Structure 1
Amino acid sequence: MAKKARQYHSFDVMVLGAGIAGVSTALHLRRLGLDTALVDRTHPGEEASSGHAGIIQRNGFVPHVLPAGLAQLLGLLFGPSRAVTCHPGSLLRLAPWLSRYRKSSNGADADAYSRTIAPLRSLAVEEHLELAGTTNADRFYRRGGWLQLARTDEAYRKTEVERYYARVFGVAYEELAEDGVSALEPGLKRSNLKGLHWPESWSVSNPGGVVDAFWRGFVQEGGSYLRADARKLQRQRGGWLLESERGTVFAPHAVLALGAWSQEVLNGLGETYPLAVLRGYHMHFRAVSGASLSRPVVDIENGFALAPTDRGIRLTTGIELAVRDAPPNAIAVRHAKKRAEELFPLGKALQETPLMGCRTCLPDSLPVIGASPVSPGLWFNFGHAHDGFTLGPVCGRLLAEAIVGKTPAVDLTGLSPLRFWE
């Protein structure tokens, strides 16, 4: 009996990675008239996108700052706050990256970050709402901003640079003393808190649900979804080839939007970018009877967030720097829960074990958006760090515009892959 020939599928472009960045890119490409395939190994939104606190941040003009001194850096990474930690077995491998990041998070480089990220943040909410309104995802979106909490005067003083840039770029915020915090979120039980309320930001009740709705909209509008291992991407004369569960996929253009798995594909193509992995953990809890939150709240000193979601109160931890496949940090959520319960009463855990998500970050804290400098037809949309959920729709739109030859709504020079090539 003759062996059945494998099917051959040809598209204008294939998008590798079905997190919010990849799904948004595919949806915009489809709306610009390109026959588009979205490719991933798992269901859209199941990796890092699903574990986000759900904040669409209108502010955020300052990168996380690492101290210059070694003793202070080690104190931050391994100290009691847990806002930023480092997996012990990963420290030596990450040392060169940490050195580059420290330089880029201060002085003129930090100012360049603020001015590059500002145009993206100015469009972030608008782009989310545009996609949400046309994909039945708008049911997940809510106004009300988010609340940044400081337990000490020192922690509050650290927000001054962020407040300065908010004033520069015309982003509203409210400075709250103890009574203001209590009025905004009466469910918080700790006193003597100061806060910053960012009312122009939005949030969602189900980040994974948002990505799923965007994906369903993409398919309903004629896009194709294929299961495949993007690490097997191959150059082919005139384009790119990938074996999927449904046969061979070919496209003259390929978009790499694989987040923490991007470097594996890049290595196979002879391209290297200074990517580090940021891991985070999340878990859901039932709120104690009578206690509620109206918006996400973030503890400045400890880095965790508490967010009301469709699945209960979501607790997300601070950032853990680690090799992607290092063993999970079993105590991360336990530590965050202990500090979180000082602010808000958490009830029964609604899942047995925490879930971990991995994101990628470049030393300048900015994503890579644009064409590969060495691989014709290959395009990049990765490295969003903790801003992937916020920036996914706008970065997807900008890259799609670049691929079809339109002038993007935002100048992509500061996000170009060329900044890492000499």
Structure 2
Amino acid sequence: MKTAGRQTDAIVLGAGIVGVSIALHLQERGRRVLLVDRGEPGAETSHGNAGLIERASVVPYAFPRGLSTLAAFASNRSIAVRYRPATLLRMAPWLARYWWNSAPGRLDRLGQAILPLIERCLDEHRQWTKAAGTESLMRDEGWIELYRSRRGLQQAVKAAAELAAYRLAYDVLDEAALQAREPGLLAGIVAGAVHWRDPATVSDPGAVTRAYAALFTARGGELRHADAAGLQQDSTGWRLSAGGEDWRAPEAVVALGPWSNDLCEPLGYRFPLGFKRGYHMHYAAAADTAPRHPLCDVEAGFVLTPMARGIRLTTGIELAARDAPSDSWQLDQAERQPLAVPEGFSLRWLHRDGAAPGSASLLTDALATLDWPAGEGSLYLWAACEHAAFRQIRAAARQYLRPEIDA
């Protein structure tokens, strides 16, 4: 005789930083939650980023509109943006909508929509890092944007001044001041920098995600390995077989990142998700040459971040099919750059993950949450680009019961 199965209040699909944070927040609201993933928490997109909690990024990442920038990216020789021509053609409608939503007026509206999340992100993360015992992995030293050209530095200083209303803390550094904060930098490569002091970083994003998941289970949450594709709708809500048991819940949350539409389309829903991939590797460095802060080489197009496993280099984005074979071109080019660190720093790498890419999802309007009714139950989708996930998710999870909706 078939049993009714185990009842819970919500099923969260995906145990990356997004899904784990939503599960924890629902739990804190007194909800019974089942968290499901086919692998270990934080093992996919959440582990390979630069670890930035970008408190200073109050303006959404916009599609470039300057002709010179577009021409540079069109050459397909940039570390910041790389594309595969066939994929670019398939993504053309999505890119056009992204460009349209990046117009100044619309970008301002989107920025105001996500601003409450950004303003709370650090305080929210600090609560959980303390509860999860990962405070030592979080550093409050900001991050530094490096500019090789004086023109680039001048434009950055002007852009920073235009954000005065947000009361962000930053320092403009000439080469001498930058050298004082980063003694390992080589002279003569960088014209100056902007040091954003509000952001924080975590030295092991994957470990933080795993610790949050452990906190969730320690508080009584259920974590199971299962294929999210098994989610089914019935008259009472949602049903999923996980861990040899049949689970039921009136609500479900899809937090599968670039795999979200694989689940949503068979259920009759398709959302305008694009994929941005990126690569990372780790290096060793002597104590007197290692960066003390995360360093973004803006004009070259990569980031160096001190991490638990060494110095992590993360590239810009690659526009390619989600499951396309890896291409190490961006990593190779980053290694050949005259890095603002002593010669030889990039020659002894510790870990390159086989140049394995990480994929992130992004909606064309950059808003992170959607909600729609599905029969008797409710199904929610969180889709955010990974560079925003660590920044926004801890605060945004608060919005689950009353999510922001943008049709």
> Structures share a fold, TM > 0.5?
yes
1:180 aligns with 2:177: yes
Decide whether aligned partners of structure 1 residues 6 and 184 sit closer, same or farther in structure 2, where only a CA change above 3 A counts.
farther
Within 2, Cα distance between the matches of 1:178 and 1:336? 22
| Per-residue deviation, 1:197 | 0.7
Equivalenced residues, count:
402
Matched-pair identity in %: 35
- Equivalence map 1:266-345=2 (5 Å): 266-288=264-286, 290-339=288-337, 341-343=339-341, 345=345
Residue of structure 2 equivalent to 1:356: 357
1:72 deviates by 5.8
- Is contact 2:11-2:252 (8 Å) kept? yes
* Coordinate RMSD, CA, aligned: 2.2
**Which residue of the other structure, out of 180, 204, 210, is the alignment partner of 1:212?**
210
Contact 2:294 2:306 in 1 (8 A): yes
Question: Which of residues 116, 126, 138 in structure 1 aligns to 2:135?
Answer: 138
Bigger mean CA deviation after superposition, 135-144 or 17-26: 135-144
My pick for the range that moved more, 59-68 or 28-37, is 59-68
CA displacement 1:281-332 (0-9 Å, x = unmatched)? 1111111463122121111112211011110000100011222112222222
For the 8 Å contact 2:153–2:191, the answer to whether it is kept is no
Deviations 1:57-79 (A, max 9, x none): 11113334434588963531444
- After superposition, what is the alpha-carbon deviation per residue over 1:213-251, rounded to whole angstroms, capped at 9, x for unaligned? 100000000001011111221111111111223322211
Provide the residue aligned with 2:397 in structure 1. Answer: 396
Residue equivalent to 2:379 = 378
How far apart in 2 are the matches of 1:138 and 1:68? 40
SS in 2 for 1:329: coil
Residue in 1 that maps onto 2:17? 20
Q: Deviations over 1:359-410 (max 9, x none)?
A: 111112221x2422455411122223421111121122221x53xxxxxxxx
For the structure 1 residues 370 and 258, does the alpha-carbon distance in structure 2 shift closer, same or farther, using more than 3 Å as the test?
same
Q: Equivalents in 1 of 2:181, 2:192: separation in Å?
A: 12
Segments of 5+ residues of structure 2 without an aligned counterpart are none
Distance in 1 between residues matched to 2:129 and 2:6, nearest whole Å: 29
Which of 236, 239, 242 pairs up with 1:241?
239
TM-score, normalised relative to structure 1:
0.89
Stretches of 4+ aligned residues off by more than 6 angstroms? 4-7
Measure the CA separation in 2 of the matches of 1:370 and 1:287.
Answer: 43
> Per the alignment, in what secondary structure is the counterpart of residue 82 of structure 1?
coil
Report the CA distance shift for 1:5/1:270 in structure 2 as closer, same or farther (over 3 A).
closer
Is contact 2:132–2:212 with CA below 8 Å preserved after alignment? yes
**AA paired with 2:395?**
V
The 5-angstrom pairing of residues 96-245 of structure 1 reads 96-159=93-156, 162-164=159-161, 166-191=163-188, 192-245=190-243
Shift of 1:33: 1.0
The answer (yes or no) to whether the contact 1:51–1:355 under 8 Å persists in 2 is no
Rate the CA distance shift 1:6–1:278 in 2: closer, same or farther, 3 A: farther
* Aligned mates of 1:67, 1:133 — CA distance in 2: 38
Aligned partners of 1:17 and 1:40 also within 8 Å? yes
Residue in 1 that maps onto 2:33: 36
- Displacement of 1:341: 3.1
After TM superposition, give the deviation of residue 80 of structure 1 in Å. 3.2
Structure-2 separation of matches of 1:70 and 1:177 = 29
**What is the rounded CA distance, in whole Å, between the counterparts of 1:115 and 1:162 in structure 2?**
18
Matched-pair contact (CA < 8 Å) for 1:14–1:37: yes
Q: Does residue 1:75 correspond to 2:109, yes or no?
A: no
- Letter matched to residue 279 of structure 1: R
1:287 aligned counterpart, secondary structure: coil
User: Does the residue aligned with 1:148 lie in a helix, a strand or coil?
Assistant: strand
**TM-score normalised by L of structure 2:** 0.92
Structure 1 stretch displaced more, 79-88 or 90-99? 79-88
The answer to whether 1:93 aligns with 2:90 is yes
Does 1:48 find its partner at 2:17?
no
More moved, 20-29 vs 371-380: 371-380
Contact 1:304-1:340 within 8 A present in 2 as well: no
Aligned AA (1:381) = W
SS at match of 1:377: strand
Secondary structure (helix, strand or coil) at the match of 2:348 reads strand
Q: Distance in 2 between matches of 1:174 and 1:327?
A: 41
Shift of 1:193: 2.6
Give the distance between the partners of 2:338 and 2:40, measured in 1 at CA. Answer: 31
Q: Which deviations, in whole Å up to 9, do the C-alpha atoms of 1:328-368 show, x marking residues without a partner?
A: 2222211122226354523411125223211111112221x
CA contact (8 A) 1:283 1:355 kept: no
From 254, 261, 264, give the equivalent of 1:263: 261
Contact 1:203 1:295 in 2 (8 A): no
**Which amino acid counterpart does residue 151 of structure 2 have in structure 1?**
E
* CA distance 1:291–1:228, change in 2 (3 Å): same
Q: Distance in 2 between matches of 1:262 and 1:301?
A: 33
Task: Determine the structure 2 residue equivalent to 1:407.
Answer: none
